[in-house]
Amino acid sequence: MRWIFLWSLFIVSCANGETKEVDVVSIEITDKLGQDSTLYFLDKIDNGKATLEELDRARPYFIQSDSLIKTEAKYLMQAGLVLMSGDNGPLYGLNYLIFLTKKFPMHKFAPEALMQLALYFDTTLGDKQRSTAFLQSLMDRYPKHELVPSAKSLLELNQSSEQQELETVKTWLNNQ
């Protein structure tokens, strides 16, 4: 009788172990498919061939593949801009650009990320204080970058009255 009980216990233990292994394997396959899809969409963006529909489909993959996205500045920039432009995941997009400026401060995308953050906080969120902080950071960290003149103009707009803002825009447009 004892022998039958032990044999039953052994079979149940083996069956439970097999179920766990299958679960782990299916999770690994799902993660791999997600990363492959993420890389597919990043490649489409990189080649300039991504459609708006594809960008919509890419957003969940960019969120799901967070650890992959955070490995390269280019991935962070691409995913950040795509996520910021949609309804799904704009906070992820903001975080990706902020993360880019901290993890890859010397990368060519870091000043551009700061400018995109400033523009997003100003135009989309109406947060001139945060926008100003990003513009100031861009000017302080990268004083010789080609975006500094634009950052200075935007900073003037953020710190001016409505009438001064109109005059600054007129002057800026006349100089273009």
Say if CB 117 and CB 134 are below 8 A apart.
yes
137 closest CA partner among 98, 168, 83, 92: 98
Instruction: State pTM to two decimals.
Output: 0.72
What secondary structure letter does DSSP report for 124? I
Q: Which residues contact 50 (CB under 8 A, 6 or more apart)?
A: 41, 44, 58
For the chain, what percent of residues have pLDDT higher than 90? Answer: 61
Say if CB 88 and CB 59 are below 8 A apart.
yes
Residue 147's pLDDT is what? 95
Q: Residue 114 has which token pair?
A: 């700061």
Say if CB 122 and CB 128 are below 8 A apart.
yes
Residue 31's pLDDT is what? 42
Token look-up 């007129």 returns 170
- Alpha-carbon distance values, 59 to 38, 47, 98, 154 (Å): 9, 17, 18, 29
Mean pLDDT of 19-29: 38
Window from 15-24, 126-135, 136-145, 164-173 with minimum mean pLDDT: 15-24
46-57 residue pLDDT tens: 999 999 999 999
3-state helix, strand, coil in the chain (%, to 5): 80, 0, 20
